[in-house]
């Protein structure tokens, strides 16, 4: 059994969609990125790769590669599951924390869990998705962006 930790941040920008764990969330701004900027799935991908000691998301999907421009991060996550699967690792459980002052994410949490469970190929009870504000403190508190932190356990 091996554990991994992932962390990612993306800035808010006008004219972008807000996509978290594959759910498009109505909001006045979205997140900026080379891909769809799904900060939660990027942190999850890094946690899985970290657990397997197989580098990170930017190593496998470089942000100067045009083939990933606007990429659906669910496709990247599924690819990460294949990458660690090639080393005979499978996912035991994941715990995702999304750090956002706004919007309110609780109505979307169950759909996020369903998406992640489907992409990881695990039962939904192995997927936790949580949200927290930072009580208006720091860059997340000023609504400049969203951060995500993920722990993952993988088994061989």
Contact residues for ligand CDI (CB under 6 A)? 8, 33-35, 37, 42, 57-58, 61-63, 68, 71
Nearest-CA neighbor of 76 among 49, 95, 57?
A: 57
Task: Tell me if 107 is assigned to a ligand binding site.
Answer: no
By CB under 6 A, residue 57 contacts ligand L45E5XJ5: no
Asked if residues 128 and 91 have their Cβ atoms less than 8 Å apart, the reply is: no
- Helix (H) or strand (E) segment spanning residue 112: helix 109-120
Cβ proximity to ligand CDI: between 17 and 126 the closer is: 17
Q: How far is the CB of 75 from ligand CDI (least distance, A)?
A: 11
Q: Give the chain's largest Cα–Cα span.
A: 43
Q: Which two tokens stand for residue 48?
A: 């899985």
Q: Is 131 in the site for ligand L45E5XJ5 (CB under 6 A)?
A: yes
Number of neighbours of residue 148 by Cβ within 10 angstroms = 27
Q: Say if residue 9 carries a ligand binding annotation.
A: yes
Q: Which does 129 bind (CB under 5 to 8 A by kind): ligand L45E5XJ5, ligand CDI, none?
A: none
Q: Which strands sit side by side in the sheet containing 30-31, from one edge to the other?
A: 30-31, 2-13, 145-155, 90-99, 127-132
Q: Does 26 bind ligand L45E5XJ5 (CB under 6 A)?
A: no
User: Are the C-beta atoms of residues 74 and 115 closer than 8 Å to each other?
Assistant: yes
Q: Which residues are annotated as a binding site?
A: 8-10, 34-35, 42, 56-58, 61-65, 132-135, 139, 142
Q: Using CB under 6 A, list all residues that contact ligand L45E5XJ5.
A: 100, 104-106, 131-133
């Amino acid at each position: 059994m091996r554990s991994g930790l992932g962390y990612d941040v993306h800035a808010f920008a006008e004219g972008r969609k807000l996509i978290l764990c594959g759910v498009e969330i109505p909001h006045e701004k979205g997140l900026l990125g080379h891909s769809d900027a799904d900060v939660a799935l990027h942190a999850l991908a890094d946690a899985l790769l970290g657990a397997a000691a197989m580098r990170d998301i930017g190593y496998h999907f470089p942000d100067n590669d045009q083939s990933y421009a606007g990429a659906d991060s669910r496709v990247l996550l599924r690819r990460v599951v294949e990458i660690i699967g090639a080393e005979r690792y499978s996912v035991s459980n994941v715990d995702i924390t999304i750090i956002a002052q706004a919007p309110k994410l609780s109505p979307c949490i169950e759909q996020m869990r369903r998406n992640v469970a489907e992409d990881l190929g695990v039962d939904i009870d192995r997927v936790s998705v949580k949200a927290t504000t930072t009580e208006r403190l720091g860059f997340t508190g000023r609504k400049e962006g969203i951060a995500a932190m993920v722990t993952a356990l993988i088994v061989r």
